A and B are shown apart, each in its own frame.
Chain A
Amino acid sequence: MQLTCATHNNIKVITVEDNRIDAASAIRFKDEMRTLTDDGADHVLLDLSGVAFVDSSGLGAIIASMKQMGDGRRLDLAGLTPDVAKVFRLTRMDSIFVIHKDMAAALQRAAG
């Protein structure tokens, strides 16, 4: 599970470099998200544009990543590919997360 990290407009952007977050990688994803968000950044944006497949374990790991950040800190999502967007829609997690079309839209909204 490879994640890369950058900061734009005071937003910590974490990009998932693997093309799937599934049962085989969910625990590592959650652990690496904990490490990367431990610095207390208030606003974290998870770029999923390179991820083609998320199963329920991957979904659970993304939810856990938000929960472990604690209240008052944001984890937004961006760049959901069609099959990933479907998992969020079917489970109604699209009403829990702020989901941006892509990174440009997410950063523009934050700057505006």
Chain B
Amino acid sequence: MAATAPSQSAPLAALSSTATELDVRDMVEALGAALTDAGIDGDLRGSITLAVSEALNNVTEHGYAGRAPGEVHMVVDLLADRVLVTLSDSGHGMPGGALPPGLLPDSSGARADLPEGGFGWFLIHKLCLDLSHTRHAGRNTLRMTFPRYLAPEKS
């Protein structure tokens, strides 16, 4: 058999779990272990696990809001110079059908007015090189692209 093209190579990791807070925590820890095994460590590993954790928490909190937690799937592919994490679920679509913009919540006010949430999409946008969401036949697919060798943080 001929050498397999990169697009057909086996993923670094493919995991499925129920979208609960404790189950997605296990998924994030498995992601971190898989990245370490692939030689991705330090700041980059931290950025990928944080961004994916935020996306999984969104599925848990909003995707299956008001209904029993469904499944969430994660596939991690190592490309030549990228790490691609694809999440899919059968929960609600994005509000308005589009990715939330991910603005940094305003923390310039008094202590009592400091934001306690709204950081999740900001962090996801900040840490991904590329981000896309599609919804087809009741399934959400979120594709999160990270560099494989450099810290992804944008200024």
Contact = CB atoms under 8 A, between A and B. Distances in A.
Contacts of A66: 111, 114
A60 B60 contact: no
A23 interface: yes
A64 interface: yes
Interface residues of B, number: 32
**What range describes how many residues of A lie at the interface?**
20 to 34
A55 B21 CA distance: 12
Contacts of A90: 122-123, 126-127, 153
Taking each of A55, A67, A87, A91, which has the highest tally of chain B beta carbons within 10 Å of its own beta carbon? A55
Interface of B: 21-22, 24-25, 28, 42-43, 46-47, 49-50, 53-54, 57, 60-61, 104-105, 107, 111-112, 114-117, 119-120, 122-123, 126-127, 153
Given A20-B25, A22-B21, A96-B107, 17 more contacts: A22-B53, A23-B57, A24-B22, A56-B117, A56-B120, A60-B115, A60-B116, A67-B116, A83-B43, A83-B46, A86-B43, A86-B50, A86-B153, A91-B104, A93-B107, A95-B107, A96-B114
